[in-house]
Structure 1
Amino acid sequence: ETYDEALEYQKKLLAVTVGHSHLRFIKNESTFEEKYISCRAEFESVLSGYEIEKKFLVEYPDFALLEKYNPFKAEISQTYLLCAVGSHRIRKRGSNGTFTYFETLKIRVTGSCAEETEDVISKAQYDELMKSADPDKNTIIKDRYCFLYEGQYFELDVFRFWNDRAFLELELKSENQEYKLPPEIKVIKDVSDDYHYKNSYLAGLKL
């Protein structure tokens, strides 16, 4: 297999995996043991049931500058349900007319860490759960652009009610993990611990 063939295969692989809601990226370490350690750490992070996330309020992106990262665009419709504990939501997610449906219960531990349970559900289940939508909250509709940068997986959320700002999110394995943000995106501030920038809060505003 030539270098060009391997590069083309890599592009095709990224095209079908980037955009998955739980994609994990593992660097090609120098030894098998290092690869195994990296892989195990990702599995343990997923199986822990905890989501550790950095969230940034950013200036509205220049998508022409992001084209080199070949972002995958997903359409998301997110509805919050009546819930006494935590955040209970359902989500319709997909592209090009093909959608997957999710039910998620999220209980926040700290501003950037939450215990999360998520299940894939059928459209019929989704439609039934819609009957329990919180009447005080709007459905959040957004476009999510997923891309890789420096071995990190980013999700850039653009909303219909904002034309001057957006969210950039990065999932971490630990709260002290180092990370590097793409220079093409201008950060306004870190809002990981600010409740006023959670989707559940925004859903309750008249935007």
Structure 2
Amino acid sequence: MIQIENTFFELGRTSQRNCLIICDRGAMDASAFISKEKWEAILASNNWNNVELRDNRYNHIMHMVSAANGAEDFYSTEDHACRSEGVELARELDYKAAAAWIGHPYFDVIDNSTDFDKKMNRLIACVCQKIGIDTGDRLNVNSKKRKFLIKAPLAPDSEFPPFQDFDVVHNYLQSDLRKAQVRLRKRGQKGHWSYIHTLRKFHPTNGQSVEVRTQLTHRDYLNLLPQRDDAHLTIFKKRRCFIYNNQYYQLDIYRQPTHPRCRGLVLLETYSAAYDQTILLASLPKFLTIEKEVTGDPAYSMYNLSLKEDWKTSKRYYAGTECNGHTKLTNGHGNVKICHSKMNGHSEEKIGLACDKINGCEKSEVRKTNGHHHVNGHGVKTDRNGITRNGNAHTNELQDIKQRIDLGSPKIQKVAVKI
């Protein structure tokens, strides 16, 4: 592990640009899982010492507290090949892993006092603060996703700040899980694609909405695509990403073929902690015409927008209307109350950050064990090659959907795929 780190550290030192090197675990972690005598023997045989390995090797240590300590409802060993510990043992090992880094001059612990989204924001904000990056209020613990309806036509490209455009394709899949939404996303630029499988389900006891995102290979994507839910149309978008006044935005422009309800639809998304509507609207891009905020409005949920059926008669309509902090879900399985319209739960995730300054910036180490990709035993097992090149896939899929878009198209037979 140390040799692998050294290789990346050297690459960073020879780079002409600022680098942030994120490592999985750190040198001191081994001391948490063996006896003190064995650790001392390893140090002596390699002429190492704790000060060099712990204090001087890394600039910053971040310890993400295990879900077994404070978020036990989200700790699971199901479908986790590398996790076999029960809650008590996992909690004990988590304490030992944290203790191994005690004494480092810059050591932060991120606990489970908030939901998972806020936990991640606290982690990123802590790293950004350490290396001097101003993130505005995007990572504020009160920051949440906001969605706005944009009036077409859009301003000319010349009026936008520097941006990147992507082709995005969403397909909802059939699912055996009650009260769950499963979808595939293909996102690409100039013929290069990445693929994501997302499972959104609701916790049976506390009602939190948990999204499990798993990166897929092109082959995995093609294997899962036949499981498309024929009650939904495929959604095609152009996604434009840009920064305006230090705020990151995504502009989704819906494309044909699609349901008539989506024609000409343009939605703007960002994260903000501003609660005053006047202040919020004043901060939005001036070159866009904002019709209204639609955050939490089920009429602008992609799940509903993709439904083939008429909303008035559909039993699958997602009635995400907020009432006293709760959300109702109607998904063909009755109603479920959840506490928030979008709140990711905790997954078993433990991250340690170790940093080394390179060209005035820092390289940081983040260590994950059994992270966000498999929460409560759900997710798709894939290899790590999540980005593939498939220049013709988008065109071929578009033609396929054009042939299937009529409401009388045949049902897609569900196929069991073992990856």
Contact 2:253 2:267 in 1 (8 A): yes
Q: Unaligned regions of 5+ residues in structure 2, if any?
A: 1-16, 18-123, 257-261, 310-404, 406-419
| Residue 132 to residue 61, structure 1, CA distance change in 2 (3 Å) | same
Q: Unaligned regions of 5+ residues in structure 1, if any?
A: 1-8, 10-24, 46-50
Other-structure match for 1:159 = 254
Task: Tell me by how many angstroms 1:93 deviates.
Answer: 0.3
- Structure 2 counterpart of 1:96, from 170, 177, 190: 190
Residue 295 of structure 2 is aligned to residue 192 of structure 1: yes
Contact 1:80 1:134 in 2 (8 A): yes
Query: Within 5 A, what are the aligned runs for 1:14-163?
Result: 35=132, 42=139, 52-64=144-156, 67-83=159-175, 84-107=178-201, 115-161=210-256, 162=262
Contact 1:66 1:184 in 2 (8 A): no
Q: Number of aligned pairs? A: 170
- Structure 2 counterpart of 1:168, from 250, 264, 268: 268
Q: Deviations over 1:178-206 (max 9, x none)?
A: 75210111111111111111111111147
| Residue 36 to residue 164, structure 1, CA distance change in 2 (3 Å) | closer
What letter matches 2:291 in structure 1?
I
Tell me how far apart the structure 2 counterparts of residues 69 and 114 of structure 1 sit (CA, whole Å): 34
What letter matches 1:116 in structure 2?
E
Task: Tell me by how many angstroms 1:107 deviates.
Answer: 4.0
- Structure 1 counterpart of 2:307, from 198, 204, 207: 204
Tell me how far apart the structure 1 counterparts of residues 181 and 275 of structure 2 sit (CA, whole Å): 25
Contact 1:73 1:145 in 2 (8 A): yes
Task: Tell me by how many angstroms 1:67 deviates.
Answer: 4.0
Tell me how far apart the structure 2 counterparts of residues 164 and 38 of structure 1 sit (CA, whole Å): 32
What letter matches 1:73 in structure 2?
D
User: Post-superposition, which runs of at least 4 consecutive aligned residues in structure 1 deviate over 6 A?
Assistant: none
- TM-score of the superposed pair, with normalisation by structure 2: 0.35
Task: Tell me by how many angstroms 1:86 deviates.
Answer: 2.9
Provide the alpha-carbon RMSD of the alignment.
3.7
Task: Tell me by how many angstroms 1:62 deviates.
Answer: 2.5
Contact 2:179 2:202 in 1 (8 A): no
Larger Rg over CA atoms: 2
Give the % identical residues.
24
Which segment is superposed worse, 128-137 or 160-169? 160-169
Q: Deviations over 1:10-43 (max 9, x none)?
A: xxxxxxxxxxxxxxx98xx9xx66948969x84x
What letter matches 1:157 in structure 2?
D
Tell me how far apart the structure 1 counterparts of residues 154 and 135 of structure 2 sit (CA, whole Å): 33
Contact 1:65 1:184 in 2 (8 A): no
